[in-house]
Amino acid sequence: MKLLILDRDGTINRSRDDKVASPDEWEPMPGALEAVARLNHGGWRVVLATNQSGIGRGLFDMASLNAVHARMQRELAAVGGRVEAVFLCPHAPEDNCDCRKPRPGLFRQIGARFGVSLGDVPAAGNTLRHVTAAAAAGCPAHLLLTGPLAGLASADVQVMPDLPPGTRVHADLGAFADWLLSQPSAPKMPA
């Protein structure tokens, strides 16, 4: 099996300014669930790395977040997909932790848990914060133009000074999945 790290908000589901705090507020991005299913069927194990500062800020609790992820898994299962694991940073920005993106702690946790070299693990998300953390951890970084950068041309994004060198840019998760599935076979994970 091959491992892939995705962001959650703005990548799999729509972002909200007031945070996704309940299952009723979770809404998939167009085509994202089907993209995850295609990746799974192509042999990719998908895990999420997500900042969830709403916990640290007291906006919602772990039970609510678990209910959101249960809905996500049900909707993924309905189209033949699944997320293997969710790694999250529950801290508020002022906590100055290593797991809050753009720091690489979540990615390092994933590498340790799965026993893989992160240089072989692509990571895709819709913010510079996600790709910066991915690149800092050694992952091949992929930026999706579905968040704050939506509407920008790929060529304009490629020359942004904060974009980590080597970051590939894709229109959305579906376009990233198409690209990844067209690549030669990636390294195999240990059994």
Residue whose C-alpha is closest to residue 124's, from 170, 182, 163? 170
The secondary structure of 96-120 as a DSSP string is: --SSSTTSSHHHHHHHHHHT--GGG
CA torsion 90→115→166→136, rounded to 10°?
40
For the chain, helix, strand, coil in percent to 5 are 40, 15, 45
- In the residue annotation, 98 being an active-site residue is answered as no
- In the residue annotation, 7 being an active-site residue is answered as yes
Residue whose C-alpha is closest to residue 80's, from 44, 38, 45, 48? 38
SS3 of residue 182 by DSSP:
coil
**Which residue shows structure tokens 């991915």?**
134
Active-site option among 9, 17, 98, 178: 9
Q: What is the DSSP letter of 158?
A: H
Active-site option among 7, 24, 156, 172: 7
What is the set of active-site residues? 7, 9
